[in-house]
Amino acid sequence: MNPIKGNRMKSRFGISCIVVLGLLGHPATGQQRLSLDSILSVVKTRNPMLKSFASRAQAMDAYAQGARSWMAPEVGGGLWMMPYQSVSDPRDQGQIMLSVQQKFTHPAKFRANQGYLDSKAAIEDANETVAFNELRAQAKMTYYQWLVLEKRKRVLKENEELISLLLKVAELRYPYNQSKLSTIYLAQGRLAEVRNMMLMNDNQILQRNINLNQLMNIPGDIRYTIDTLVAFRRFVPEPMDTGAFAQRRSDVQRIDRSIQAMKLNQVLEGYQAKPDFNVSFNHMIPRGSEMPSQFMLLGMISIPIAPWSSRMYKANVAGMNREIEAMKSERAAILNEAQGMTASMASEIATLERQMENYEKQILPALRKNYQTVMLAYEENREELPVVIEGWEALNMMQMQYLDTLQRYYEMTVNYEKQVEK
């Protein structure tokens, strides 16, 4: 193993152990705060799907270690030229035979088989990278959804406090005929609606908690918080051509390694044209005392170039050529799709970014000033409560639309990073 890679693995393992031990040590307090990097580190080291690919790669390495083993020798014994009836001539009493036989496979076949098995281990390593890219995207998506839900929770809490305040003011003014009963009921309905939204929002946060627990392979009842002070991620597109995608995309690298494995398998099939050797030694012990002991040494060689035997491996090589062409076409399709998809995503992300800027600099400030104006007029008894609630609803709707846009922005960014494997 590369020592640098081994140190990185040890570092990730150490981080994940600290995080997991902290969570297991405080399963109910909810005081543990996790960053996205720490969650991804735990997913990398503890997710059982990734462990399965690592085990398969180790299995292929184990198979490769035995690729140069000879076939087991064959040892036998029996009777040789034994008469059915008893005879007096010692030369006709038969013999007892001991036999040893060993098959010698051509060394080139051993080397080719070992290279092919080693290449299959590399494919499993690429499969692990493909799976981790998918799991990383799921973890990021869940984390940013949770982040937006926390922002939505703060907005809903502010809304609850605001409507509660308006309701108290309306109830205090009602005995003095300064507010209407219908407005009190309206405020009560809006307050109940906000609290329902808070319940639904809390449930969605709990679901994201459980989803991350599943990805990290920790008990589903462990509760924690996430880092909500994370800075806004400004999107910076990366210029990517097919060459850059080919170097970065793990699914393309998996196809490249599959093609390499298929070529090595072709080499292995081609070596089937090389002969194998077989050596047999037989020792005969006569039953008659006047007969000498005898032996037989026999060497054999296979003739795989015979037309009736060469047809099979030649057909296999031709079939593998077709499979290689199919994988090359699949590779080109993936690169073409990735290039077009990332360009489209970058355009949509830029649009979402401009929309959020409009919300932050123009729409929300204007609606907040409108609400503050009608609220001030209501405090001075120059406006009715429905007008204040109308101003609040307009502001609240835009705040929710802003958070929806922020969530789409994060989701699209995660999908873009999934395509470029960042």
Q: One-letter amino acid identity for 182? A: S
What pLDDT sits at residue 175? 82
Contacts with 299 (C-beta within 8 Å, 6 or more apart), sequence order: 277, 278, 279, 280
Please determine, for residue 5, whether its predicted confidence score (pLDDT) is greater than 50.
Answer: no
What pLDDT sits at residue 23? 65
Query: What six digits make up the tokens of 118?
Result: 């080693």
Mean pLDDT of 366-375: 92
What pLDDT sits at residue 167? 86
Least confident of 63-67, 193-197, 312-316: 63-67
Half-sphere exposure of 161 (CA within 13 A, CB side): 5
DSSP state letter for 234: -
What pLDDT sits at residue 15? 53
Please determine, for residue 7, whether its predicted confidence score (pLDDT) is greater than 60.
Answer: no
Least confident of 9-18, 261-270, 335-344: 9-18
Query: What six digits make up the tokens of 330?
Result: 């699949």
Q: One-letter amino acid identity for 1? A: M
Rounded Cα distance, 117 and 77, in Å:
37
Query: What six digits make up the tokens of 249?
Result: 């995309």
Please determine, for residue 13, whether its predicted confidence score (pLDDT) is greater than 60.
Answer: no
Q: Is 318 exposed, middle or buried (0-12, 13-18, 19+ CB in 10 A)?
A: exposed
- Tell me whether strands 225-226 and 33-34 are parallel, antiparallel or unpaired: parallel
Q: Phi/psi zone of residue 295: left (φ > 0), alpha (ψ -120 to 50 degrees), beta?
A: beta
What pLDDT sits at residue 17? 58
Q: Which residues pair with 100 in a beta bridge?
A: 75, 281
Higher pLDDT, 50 or 289: 50
Q: Widest CA span of the chain, in angstroms? A: 141
Q: How many Å separate Cα 157 from the centre of its chain?
A: 37
Rounded Cα distance, 152 and 146, in Å:
10
Q: One-letter amino acid identity for 152? A: R
> What are the tens digits of pLDDT across the range 149-168?
999 999 999 999 988 988 88
Which residue, chain included where needed, has tokens 């996790």? 34
What pLDDT sits at residue 21? 55
Mean pLDDT of 265-288: 88
What pLDDT sits at residue 195? 94
> What are the tens digits of pLDDT across the range 202-222?
999 999 999 999 999 999 889
pLDDT confidence band for 4 (50 / 70 / 90) = very low
> What are the tens digits of pLDDT across the range 405-418?
999 999 999 999 99
pLDDT confidence band for 3 (50 / 70 / 90) = very low
What pLDDT sits at residue 27? 52
Query: Phi/psi at 76 (nearest 5 deg)?
Result: -145, 170
Q: One-letter amino acid identity for 46? A: R
Contacts with 96 (C-beta within 8 Å, 6 or more apart), sequence order: 77, 78, 79, 80, 284, 285, 287
In whole numbers, what is the pLDDT of the chain averaged over residues? 86
Please determine, for residue 178, whether its predicted confidence score (pLDDT) is greater than 70.
Answer: yes
Q: How many Å separate Cα 36 from the centre of its chain?
A: 16
385 contacts 179 by C-beta, under 8 angstroms: yes
Rounded Cα distance, 292 and 218, in Å:
77
pLDDT confidence band for 108 (50 / 70 / 90) = confident
Mean pLDDT of 355-370: 94
Q: Which CATH superfamily is domain 3-70+107-274+305-420 in?
A: Outer membrane efflux proteins (OEP) (1.20.1600.10)
- H-only helix segments in 3-106: 3-25, 36-46, 48-65
Please determine, for residue 239, whether its predicted confidence score (pLDDT) is greater than 80.
Answer: no
Least confident of 112-121, 227-236, 241-250: 227-236
Mean pLDDT of 297-311: 85
Half-sphere exposure of 192 (CA within 13 A, CB side): 6
Please determine, for residue 293, whether its predicted confidence score (pLDDT) is greater than 80.
Answer: yes
What pLDDT sits at residue 2? 40
Which residue, chain included where needed, has tokens 């209407």? 180
Q: Phi/psi zone of residue 313: left (φ > 0), alpha (ψ -120 to 50 degrees), beta?
A: alpha
Q: One-letter amino acid identity for 218? A: I
What pLDDT sits at residue 57? 87
- % the chain with pLDDT above 70: 92
Neighbours of 85 (CB within 10 A): 5
- % the chain with pLDDT above 90: 44
Domain residue limits, the chain: 3-70+107-274+305-420
Please determine, for residue 393, whether its predicted confidence score (pLDDT) is greater than 70.
Answer: yes
